[in-house]
Amino acid sequence: MRCTHLCCDASLRWYTVYQSIHIWKSSDKKPMDIHEYQAKQLLKGYGVPVLPGGVAYTAEEAERVARELAAESFAVKAQILAGGRGKVGAVRLVNSTADVRETAARIIGSTVATEQTGGREQRVLRVYVEEACDIVDEFFVGLLVDRTTARVTVIGSRRGGVGVEEVAAGQPDSVLKVAVDPLEGLLAAQAREMAVWLDPSQTHAGSLEQCLLGLYAAFTELDAALIELNPLVVTRAGQLVALDAKMSFDDNALFRHKNIADLRDADAEEGRVLRAQEGYNYIKLPGNIGCMVNGAALAMATMDSIKGCGGEPANFLDVPPSAPTDRITAAFKRVLTDPEVAVIVVNVVGGGITRCDTVAEGMANAYRAAGRRVPLVVRFEGTNRDLGKKTLRDTGVPFVAADTLAEAAARAVARAAETAERQAP
């Protein structure tokens, strides 16, 4: 009995120490920012009006997105984790799909420094291509937790296009703040008050009200730390549209929102590469065939096979057997979002610790989060091979299966050659 008590006591003390470390560590964390296109996609789900658009990692993809939009003019917007892009030419309006391609080619791979990047250049890995619109009226709408009242506060201004700090500091009466009671939530009457204040003519007060209620629902349900629509505009066509969207999330709540945690763009946040800490070994190479393999030796064999078939690997990537799903997600997203990658070979041999289905889950998360479709050749062997393939199919990840490494390499090289042929002028 005595022994049991001692053990309990010890583990309790250990748990307390563990918790305080955890609290100390988490208080050190900054909110997590996501990209504009990701914020728009999330907000759209809450009824916030956005224009049709799509993300692109290459100039060709950008042109394809533009063609599918079938609009008369387009906005090509660099996706970096900072605003102020308009002033430095990282948001461009163009009038043809050819210009979208040309503009995307110039922006993707370039670096951008704005007044919000803290003097640092951020590399642009993707652009958002959106239908353009004519702006008639511009608002600013922001939601954040007011530190002094600890309440979610909705801030509105008729001076859209200007930063919130400038808006609030410059002309206090050009800003309306509405504090929300956490038990009641944003009331329809409060949303209405803000809507009418923003649009005294009340032409768009109804849609403004709906938009505000949607923003509040998104903010609370997703544990956001900040939502900023700047500008929220009325178009010449008479439509209310969130033309820009910024969202940050409370790091401490991310465990409740796996799909949002997967949106983290660690490279952009850090401005540098921290592969070792991310739990996988990655080396960028000059080719166009991406690979993800478990084990360094197998990764080298995979690269040799690709070369043997006349292809060029775009990277070396070894995911260790102990990697949990989220590390696989991060690793696979790394390859998926490499603009040079035309096709990806996944070669995973489950040896007990590595399970093909776990790898498949990580891949599916990355596929969803990256929003980029790259042809995929998958060779799964060993532990849960069939379950792995089933997981990919069930989660809607299109892939070509290969039974051997030689077959996987051959198929990938053939596919890369096809892509190159199609892209040739």
Q: How far is the CB of 56 from ligand GDP (least distance, A)?
A: 16
Contact between 387 and ligand GDP (CB under 6 A)? Answer: no
Q: Are 124 and 79 contacting, i.e. CB atoms less than 8 angstroms apart?
A: yes
Contact between 157 and Mn ion (CB under 5 A)? Answer: no
CB nearer to ligand GDP: pick between 140 and 216:
140
Q: How far is the CB of 38 from ligand GDP (least distance, A)?
A: 14
- Across 96-123, b (16+ Cβ under 10 Å) vs e yields ebebbbbbbbebbeeebbbeebeeeebe
CB under 5 A: which stretch of 78-86, 189-197, 198-206, 264-272 binds Mn ion? 78-86
Which tokens belong to 416?
């890369």
Which tokens belong to 237?
């066509």
Please count the CA atoms within 13 angstroms of the CA of 419 that sit on its side-chain side. Answer: 20
Per CB under 5 A, contacts with Mn ion among 207-236 are 230
Contact between 290 and ligand GDP (CB under 6 A)? Answer: no
CB nearer to ligand GDP: pick between 85 and 411:
85
CB nearer to ligand GDP: pick between 94 and 330:
94
Per CB under 6 A, contacts with ligand GDP among 61-90 are 75, 77, 83-86
- Across 144-176, b (16+ Cβ under 10 Å) vs e yields beeeeeeebbbbbbbbbbbbbeebbeeeeeebe
Q: How far is the CB of 59 from Mn ion (least distance, A)?
A: 24
Long-range contact set of residues 3-6: C-beta below 8 Å, sequence gap at least 24: none
Rg, the chain, Cα only: 24
Residue tagged 């289905």 (tokens): 357
Contact between 91 and ligand GDP (CB under 6 A)? Answer: yes
Q: Are 161 and 83 contacting, i.e. CB atoms less than 8 angstroms apart?
A: no
44, 60, 105, 135: residue in contact with ligand GDP (rule CB under 6 A) = 135
CB nearer to ligand GDP: pick between 132 and 335:
132
Contact between 242 and ligand GDP (CB under 6 A)? Answer: no
- Which of 265, 259, 177, 187 is closest to 223 using CA atoms? 259
Q: How far is the CB of 86 from ligand GDP (least distance, A)?
A: 3
Q: How far is the CB of 131 from Mn ion (least distance, A)?
A: 17
Q: How far is the CB of 175 from ligand GDP (least distance, A)?
A: 18
Three-state secondary structure string covering 63-132? HHHHHHHCCCCEEEEECCCCCCCHHHCCEEEECCHHHHHHHHHHHCCCEECCCCCCCCCEECCCEEEEEC
Contact between 263 and ligand GDP (CB under 6 A)? Answer: no
Q: How far is the CB of 49 from Mn ion (least distance, A)?
A: 16
In the bound state, the residue with its beta carbon closest to ligand GDP is 86
CB nearer to ligand GDP: pick between 99 and 223:
99
Kindly list the residues in this chain that would bind ligand GDP in the complex (CB under 6 A): 75, 77, 83-86, 91, 93, 132-135, 161, 230-231, 243-244
